[in-house]
Structure 1
Amino acid sequence: MPSTRKMILNHVMSGICSKINRTKQLPSDVMETPLKRCLNTFDITLLGIGHMVGAGIYVLTGSVTKNIAGPGIIISFLLAGVASLLSALCYSEFGTRVPKAGSAYAYTYVSVGEFWAFVIGWNIILEHMIGAASVARAWSGYVNFLFDDAISNATLAATGEMHQVLLGKYPDFLAFLVCIVYASLLGFGVKGSAIFNSILTILNLAVMVLVISVGFYYSDITNWTASKGGFFPYGFGGVISGAATCFYAFVGFDSIATAGEEAKDPSFSIPVATISSMVVVTLGYILVCAALTLLVPFDSVNPNAALPEAFSGIGLHWVKYLVSIGAICGMTTTLVGSLFSLPRCMYAMAQDGLLFSFLGNVNSKTQVPLTNLVISGLLSALIALLFDLEKLVEFMSIGTLLAYTIVSASIIILRYKPTTEGFPRKPATSPSCSESSSSYSETPTPVLDFCPVPGTLKPQFGWLFPIFGMYKPGRVVTMSVFVFMVFSCALCFLLHGSLKNQTEDIWWIIVIATFFVTIMALSLIAIAAHHQNVTGLKFKVPLVPFLPALSIFCNLGFMVHLNVLTWIRFFIWMVLGMLVYFLYGIHHSKEGDTNSSYSMLMTSSEAVKEKWGATTKSKIKGTLTKRKGSGGDSRNAIIDEEELVQ
């Protein structure tokens, strides 16, 4: 009996492991979708710019300049932009591979596995929900400032103050109404929403050009000199802290990837739109911050409405009102971007069976997931009504950074996979390549001089064969990525702790940091020693694995700067997600029907793999040999059912 219970437990555990690690198999026609493919490259580029240029430039700029970095905010935005661009490149490559709604969720499902895909999808829902609520709060705060706090004073007089730590000072009914109105507008169809977004984004960019031009015309270079605090009044540490905060201003480029299922030509539009929007936004942020800090001393900047007050302070009141119009337009497009992406992520997860099936419905007339849009708008509106802006922004960052980290890791893993598992397969161009690709599982990581199989060692690294030769192609890369992430996280915590608690005896910190860096470097060398798979890619991330690895390190570095309360809230959100997944998603996954032992037995391309059902390759070969050696009727079955189930 104990052995029977052990066998049952092992069977259950192995079943769970196989379920959480299963990857999504895309259909042969990846362009087929119930959504409407009507967005061109220009539409998607403006969608990305509009989602990024909003609360970041009009809200964050003032507080970071005055309290964290000073004029050094220019470098902060540059560093945050470079770190975001690394993640954006990874999103671009995935966008050409998987032109589906869901963004990082869909990418992770195809390359890494179901469990991590659900984790990413669950956090993307959090990101866009809180992103919409935080921008609605900022929108309301800006309008309130223009009316000299009349809205907030009237609300406080009517409702009183909410004396709770996590809640805002007062219920923001204007932010609630803004979420409902814009969610309703998105329900009329994606093309109409894109046109509305494009008009507001162009107006916003025009206002930014005006700010830059007028700001430089009235600039005073002495505002950067030592007499007024210098360029780095808070030191370089302030610049790094400012970069971590400014990272929020670039959140939103993943909405470009979310639109992949509604793009006319996603393999071209997604990478072009992503890189173009990132360059435009980064350059715009840097120039606006330069104009602001040259216009007024950094300690005179109004943290709540930096740009309007700066121009008002030098007597240019007409510019103040134009900037306010641009701010409203910018925050509107950011809000639209979040409310556009959130229903589509929920739709993608529901289509895969990981969320409740009714969330996968698409309205036949507008070709928009209206049910998801209603739920998204109401939840975002409720959060905006009750919670404080600062708490919302910080809570949003952790889920976003986790998604960026796993996407960057997935790019490395997928680039070295021996076959494009999960992707539509194309006919091999030569018999030798086809044979070597289909039979990779029969030989452990060989060194190939002909038609190299992805995930195998390059000839010049043949001396590593005694170490890595026992593993299947691609397995060493996956393990190396995991080791790199673990030691990167450890190094980030070490550096963060040493900077926070500076001591004179830092030799031991240097020794430990050197050890961590050495392990990370060896992991990257182990990855680079293998052949890559770049077949059929119209856009490729350059310098793989080094650029994605740098993206992983930067994202983890930003994550360790978040406070403990943010991590606790994140843990609570993840517990809720695990309940949804293990009580519903794992049992209703659409991939569960395709991984049965029967279907694998009937599929000839899968029959050569080493692990399937309860029958191993060696048992099949033994049975074949036994049948071949024995006489008898040649019409008899090669493998009896009794032998299969032994």
Structure 2
Amino acid sequence: MPGSRRMILKHVMSNIWSRMHRTKQMPSDIMETPLNRCLNTFDITLLGIGHMVGAGIYVLTGTVARDIAGPGIIFSFLLAGSACILSALCYAEFGTRIPKAGSAYIYTYISIGEFCAFVIGWNILLEHMIGAASVARAWSGYVDSLFDGVISNTTVAITGELHEALFGRYPDILACLVCLTYASLLGIGVKGSAIVNSILTTVNLCVMGIVICVGFYYANLDNWTNIRGGFLPYKIEGVIAGAATCFYAFVGFDSIATSGEEAKNPSFSIPIATVVSMGIVTLGYILVASALTLLVPYYDINPEAALPEAFAHVGMHWVKYVVSLGALCGMTTTLFGSLFSLPRCIYSMAQDGLLFGFLGNVNDKTQVPLANLVISGILTSLIALLFDLEKLVEFMSIGTLLAYTIVSASVIILRYRPNYDANRKIISSPTSECSVSTSELTSPSSEIVNLAGTLRIQYSWLAPVFGRLQAGSAVYSSVFIFTIFSAALCIMLQVSNRELEDGMWWSMVLAGFFIFVMAACLLVIIAHHQNNSVNLRFKVPMVPFLPALSILCNIEFMVHLNILTWLRFFIWMVLGMLIYFLYGIHHSKMEDFNSSYSVLMTSSEAVKEKWGSTTRTNIKQTLFKRKASGDRRAIIDGEDSD
């Protein structure tokens, strides 16, 4: 009996493991969608710019410049922008491959597996909820400052203060109402929302132009050179810590990928919109930060109203009202971006069965997932009502950085995995048992597909180690090991920074070992053939080096986050695991595919007996040819219908 129980437990655990790692197959009609494909390249570009240029430039800049990086904030924005551009390029390639809502979630589902996809999707929901709520609180705070604190003082007088550490000083009713109002506006349809977003984003960019021009006109170079601490008062550590915080200012670019299912021509629009929007936003942030720190010494910056107070310092009081207009427009578009992306991510996960089915419904009239929009508006309004802005920003960063890391890793994995046929249909490896297609077995391009993920001739000396592995599996393992050792290196740089500076031998040896393993992983990856069977309009250049650098940068930013932020993230993940293992894993649309596969394979012995010496591989290939053609009964009965 104990042996039987162990066998049953082993079977159950094996089944759960295989279900957690099943990958999604995209339909051949990938452009078909119940959503409205009406967005052009201009709309999507302004959607990305509007989502990024908001609270980050009007609220975050002052805090980072005064307390973290000083004038070195321009390098913080440059580092954060460069790291985000690496991730954005990976998103752009996936957006070209897979024009579906869901962003990093759907990309991970296809390249790595269901469990990792759910983890990423769950964190994307957190990112957009907290992103919308934090911007709503910043919007409310800016309006309150225009009225000299009347709104906050009145609210505190009526409701009293909240004394919990995670909560804000008072319940922000205005921020709550802002979330509900903008969620209602998004319900009119995606094209109408895009027009409103484009107008507000244009106004915001004009205001940024005024701030930059006036700021440089009144610039004082002494504020960079002859102040306490000089240009880098917080040294390089402050620049890096500032970059980890400034990263928040760029997180909106994934809304571009989320719009893939509503883009007219996603294979063209998404990469163009990604590159253009990231370039404009990075340059804009650097120039605004430069103007701010040249106007006033960094230690005199008012973090609550950095730009208005800076211009008041040089007698330009009228700019205060221009900046306030731009701030409100910018925060509105950022809020629009988060509330635009959130219901579409929920919709994508519900369509796959990982979230509750009713969340996958789309309104016939507006072609918008209205139920998701209502739920999104209510949840973000409650978060904005109660929680503190600074805690929200930190909490959001973990999920965002994790998603960017997984997407960068997924680009490498898919580049070296033979999983595309001549029709661009995403399938499993040609040696896989679960997805052998007739076209792949017979098409002239199948030899090219089979070559992907195999060793190059010049690296044949690695054949004794990797030559017998399934195509692509060596690259998959190398990416995983590279990510683990990147995390170890970043943690060591954070924890043992002083020992490294002092040249302690053990720290140098350990860091050298980590770097050696990471370099070896990259060598193993480049020793294999890439998958060149798919002609994409955009591909990330210098693979695997740029995605690997993106992984390293994202992890470096993650280790700089507060330990309490990690604890809150763990609680959020526990809630997500309950939903996945109690609901998602059993209702996944991939469950139906696996069930039909099991029914087909139960008859393999009968088929083998009929065909005698036929190899097991040929049996499986024939079974799936029959399955693809719908001749399921003939297979089960062991009848040869050819």
Do they fold alike, i.e. is TM over 0.5? yes
C-alpha distance in structure 1 between counterparts of 2:169 and 2:307, whole Å: 25
Q: Decide which of 454, 464, 467 is 2:465's aligned counterpart.
A: 467
Q: CA deviation at 1:420?
A: 2.3
SS of residue matched to 1:511: helix
Show the counterpart of 1:180: 180
SS where residue 368 of structure 2 aligns?
Answer: coil
**512, 517, 523: which one aligns with 2:510:** 512
Q: Which residue of 1 aligns with 2:119?
A: 119
Q: Call closer, same or farther: CA 1:515–1:160 in 2, change over 3 Å.
A: same
Q: Distance in 2 between matches of 1:403 and 1:622?
A: 48
Shift, 1:615, TM fit: 5.4
Distance change in 2, residues 1:593/1:240 (3 Å): same
Instruction: State the SS of the aligned residue for 1:100.
Output: coil
Counterpart residue number, 1:575: 574
**1:211-234 deviation per Cα after TM superposition (whole angstroms, max 9, x unaligned):** 000111111111111345421111
Residue 638 of structure 1 deviates from its aligned partner by: 12
Q: In the alignment, is the contact (CA less than 8 A) between 2:610 and 2:638 conserved in 1?
A: no
Deviation track 1:520-543 (CA, whole Å, cap 9, x = no partner) reads 000000000001113221110001
Q: What per-residue deviation string (whole Å, max 9, x for no partner) do you get for residues 473-514 of structure 1?
A: 000000000110110000010000023778746221111000
Task: Mark the CA change 1:26 to 1:199 in structure 2 (over 3 Å): closer, same or farther.
Answer: same
The alignment partner of 1:252 has SS state of helix
Structure 2 counterpart of 1:84, which letter?
C
Instruction: Return 227-236 or 499-508, whichever deviates more.
Output: 499-508
1:595 alignment partner, SS class: helix
| CA deviation string 1:378-434 (max 9, x = no partner) | 000000000000100000000000000000000000110112289357997997854
Which residue identity does 2:269 align to in structure 1?
Answer: S
Per-residue deviation at 1:25?
A: 1.2
Counterpart in 1 of 2:196? 196
Deviation at 1:84, TM superposition (A): 0.3
User: 1:597 touches 1:613 (CA, 8 Å); kept in 2?
Assistant: no
Shift of residue 10 of structure 1?
2.3
Change over 3 Å in CA distance of 1:598–1:393 after alignment to 2: closer
Between the aligned partners of 1:366 and 1:520, the Cα distance in structure 2 is 49
Classify the secondary structure of the residue corresponding to 1:573: helix
Identify the residue that residue 31 of structure 1 maps to in structure 2: 31
Q: 1:209 — aligned with what?
A: 209
Give the equivalent residue in structure 2 for 1:92.
Answer: 92
Give the structure 1 partner of residue 622 of structure 2.
Answer: none
- Structure 1 unpaired stretches of 5+: 441-452, 602-611, 628-636
Q: Is the 8 A contact 1:29 1:424 kept in 2?
A: no
Shift of 1:91: 0.1
**1:315 aligned onto 2:326:** no
Match of 1:495 in 2: 493
2:411 & 2:250 partners in 1: Cα distance? Answer: 20
1:423 corresponding residue in structure 2 = 425
Task: Identify if the C-alpha distance between structure 1 residues 594 and 640 changes in structure 2 by more than 3 Å, giving closer, same or farther.
Answer: closer
2:163 maps to 1:159 = no
Aligned partner of 1:537: which letter? L
The 5-angstrom pairing of residues 191-590 of structure 1 reads 191-420=191-420, 423-424=425-426, 433-436=444-447, 440=450, 453-499=451-497, 504=502, 506-534=504-532, 535-590=534-589
Cα offset, 1:626, TM superposition: 10
| Aligned alpha-carbon RMSD (Å) | 2.5
Matched, 1:623 2:638: no
Q: Is the 8 A contact 1:624 1:638 kept in 2?
A: no
The one-letter amino acid paired with 2:205 is: L
Shift of 1:624: 2.9
| Secondary structure of 1:253's aligned partner | helix
Matched residue SS, 1:532 = coil
1:631 is matched with none
Distance 1:624 1:125, change over 3 A: same
List per-residue Cα deviations over 1:276-304 (Å, max 9, x = no partner).
00000000000111111111111111111
Cα distance 1:217–1:471, how it changes in 2: closer, same or farther (>3 A)?
A: same
1:607 corresponds to: none
Deviation of the 1:625 alpha carbon: 5.0
Q: State the Cα distance separating 1:5 from its structure 2 match.
A: 2.3
| Mapped contact 1:624–1:639 kept (Cα < 8 A) | no
Shift of the 264–599 alpha-carbon distance from structure 1 to 2, 3 Å rule, reads farther
Q: Separation in 2 of the partners of 1:319 and 1:617?
A: 82
How many Å separate the matches in 2 of 1:431 and 1:118? 35
- Number of residue pairs aligned between Structure 1 and Structure 2: 611
3-state SS of paired residue (1:25): coil
In the aligned structure 2, how far is the partner of 1:501 from the partner of 1:388?
Answer: 36
CA distance in 2 between counterparts of 1:341 and 1:332 reads 14
Q: Which amino acid aligns with 1:156?
A: V
Change (3 A) 1:232 1:68: same
Aligned to 1:443: none
* Cα distance in 2 between the residues matched to 1:546 and 1:418: 20
1-side partners of 2:98 and 2:443: how far apart? 28
8 A Cα contact 2:454 2:467, kept in partner: no
Partner of 2:364, secondary structure, is coil
CA distance in 2, matches of 1:149, 1:43: 36
CA shift, 1:596, in A, is 3.0
Measured against aligned partners, the alpha-carbon deviations of 1:8-33 in whole angstroms (never above 9, x if no partner) come to 22221221112111111111110000
Letter in 1 for 2:514: F
Equivalent pair of 1:125/1:342 in contact (CA under 8 Å): yes
Gap change, CA 1:342 and 1:7, over 3 Å in 2: same
Cα offset, 1:66, TM superposition? 0.7
Unaligned stretches of 5+ in structure 2?
Answer: 428-436, 617-632
Q: Which residue of 2 is the match for residue 634 of structure 1?
A: none
Deviation at 1:595, TM superposition (A): 2.2
Cα offset, 1:613, TM superposition = 6.5
Find the aligned partners of 1:617 and 1:119 in 2 and give their Cα distance: 41
SS of the residue 1:624 aligns to: coil
